[in-house]
Structure 1
Amino acid sequence: MFPRELEDEAIYILREVASQFEKPAILFSGGKDSITVVRLAEKAFYPGKIPFKLLHVDTGHNFPETIEYRDWLVNKLGLELHVRYVEDSIKQGKVKEETGKYASRNAAQTVTLLDAIEEFKFDACIGGARRDEEKARAKERIFSVRDDFGQWDAKKQRPELFDMLNGKIEIGENVRVFPISNWTELDVWNYIKEEKLRIPSIYFTHDRMVFDRDGLIWADSEFINKSEDEVPYSTKVRFRTVGDMTCTAAVASEADNLDDVISEILSAKISERGARIDDKRSEAAMEKRKQAGYF
């Protein structure tokens, strides 16, 4: 069962965003957490329309299933979506394309994101990050103030007592807002089940060409530099968390429905972010990205 007090808290936070900020946006990736945030926004402002635009930073290395879902949801709800591309940032010389075995555009998203925030003058960006995911996220506030360079300083966070959220910012600053901070991975899946939400097919078992690297199952992709001994093969997998194809590992699975997915999570021996290759670069990988302006 999903604890409805979490939904109440998230709806309260989203309404606070609408009342305290002039140009908020939802950071939407097509993953389960941002899908949940959009559903909460629907309920927060029903019967009116969601008063936030959607922003997607597209690395060009996304799973096709999430892009297909993104476009379907935007069309279904009649939302306004802005897409900005990491490829454009690379062509403009603002960021350098990584090379080598573990090349990824994950960190490069920061530049594109900050440029988009400046372009559209967004003063608040709503994300689906949760505190149970990763230690850097565990210490971040619900209203997370970023300076005029988009940087996050954990030592300068504001206190959040009870339900008092302080969105006051100076010119050039913006706030990242995390309405489902206090949810767990299991809470998200139970909510998706109870709300009967459609999600990308990539979250359920499917046949996919993959290869093994560093004890993880990688999706075979033209964007990944494989060695000769990394031979692709077909097997049944699903994705527990969804990022770029270059930084998200699959898990072997037969779960083809929500009940089976939830059962798998209950018995899992590794964390959700254990399948995120980008977090394995260092112990402080996520915090360093956030300090630079990452989501």
Structure 2
Amino acid sequence: MSRNYQLSQLETLESEAIYIFREVAAEFERPVLLFSGGKDSIVMLRLAQKAFHPARVPFSVMHVDTGHNFPEVLEFRDRRVAEVGVQLVVASVQEALDRGFVHAPPDGTRNRIQTPVLLEALDKHQFTAVFGGARRDEDKARAKERVFSFRDEFGQWDPKNQRPELWNLYNGRIHLGESIRVFPLSNWTELDIWQYIAQEQLELPSIYYAHERTVFDRNGMLFAANEFCPPRPGEETFTASVRYRTVGDASLTAAVRSDADTVEKVIDEVASTRITERGATRGDDKFSEAAMEDRKREGYF
């Protein structure tokens, strides 16, 4: 009887990601997984569980909390971490502001000041490898990333100083103070993420699905009216059926009009779109064509 040993697209991506998790656990003394409660980090945590089953996930998870997060996402973050049984390290931007380590920009947003808080937390806990959920399809700058992204002693990224990755061979050698950012989802697309969520029956924060929300239009994007992002003079609020494709800061992350209230409907919607989730919903990527690359050079993910 003939057997079919061909892997599906999701099985291939899952196998690659699991291999990456195991490589990092074998090569680095203190890895950590960034976990915000967003869909990509939820998928990563699931992959980490599979990589080390039946043992527990052998590293902590960390969230750089700006204080401007959607409450639904924070509630889900805490619940999911408790279910998995991993330690949560919270690097608080608000705490850094209170002690004068960082200063809020004039517009009140906090996404850009996450970077020094992240770098301080990595140094404090001596994390040498950091798993991030970035995917190459999200942004031009992220398309330049290797799976193992080398960072110097200042946490900075130089796209011209990255190591070759031939035949899935990853070089994890670092000197004191240096670190590696690791992206197990590099080759995944937004559609792959949603199909994997459906396959694994993963729970997500409710705002990923269509719901009624009070919003206003700003530069062609729909922002939720809340304490972190109040409407400006002339911006009128209205109620619309929306969902979030990504869940960054409430002050910078926009929603999209949608009636997709199930994972199957979201998959159909994502399959037909031609605009990346960051391009469609992230106000922090509208500053310039090189906005993401500039932040990555400073140490951002």
**TM-score category of the 2 structures, normalised to the smaller one:** over 0.9
**1:1-295 mapped onto 2 (5 Å cutoff):** 2-100=9-107, 103-274=108-279, 275-295=281-301
Pairwise CA distance, 1:225: 4.6
Partner secondary structure for residue 160 of structure 2: helix
Partner secondary structure for residue 22 of structure 2: helix
> What is the rounded CA distance, in whole Å, between the counterparts of 2:176 and 2:164 in structure 1?
21
> Could you list the per-position Cα deviations for residues 182-241 of structure 1 after superposition, in whole angstroms to 9, with x for gaps in the alignment?
011100000000001011101001111111110110011111253221122222110011
Pairwise CA distance, 1:160: 0.4
- Kept in 2: contact 1:2–1:194 (CA 8 A): no
> What is the rounded CA distance, in whole Å, between the counterparts of 1:146 and 1:88 in structure 2?
25
- Kept in 2: contact 1:84–1:112 (CA 8 A): yes
> Structure 1 runs of 4+ off > 4 angstroms?
none
User: For structure 1, which segment, 269-278 or 223-232, has the greater mean C-alpha deviation from structure 2 after superposition?
Assistant: 223-232
> Could you list the per-position Cα deviations for residues 24-45 of structure 1 after superposition, in whole angstroms to 9, with x for gaps in the alignment?
0001111100001000000000
Pairwise CA distance, 1:94: 2.0
TM-score by length of 2: 0.95
Pairwise CA distance, 1:267: 1.5
Partner secondary structure for residue 42 of structure 1: helix
> Could you list the per-position Cα deviations for residues 50-82 of structure 1 after superposition, in whole angstroms to 9, with x for gaps in the alignment?
011000010000011110110110111111001
Pairwise CA distance, 1:269: 3.5
**Which amino acid in 2 is paired with 1:278?**
D
**Which amino acid in 2 is paired with 1:226?**
P
**Which amino acid in 1 is paired with 2:223?**
W
In structure 2, runs of 5+ residues without a counterpart are 1-7
Partner secondary structure for residue 137 of structure 1: helix
> RMSD across aligned C-alpha pairs, in angstroms?
1.0
In structure 1, runs of 5+ residues without a counterpart are none
TM-score by length of 1: 0.97
- Kept in 2: contact 1:30–1:70 (CA 8 A): yes
Aligned length: 293
- Kept in 1: contact 2:209–2:261 (CA 8 A): yes
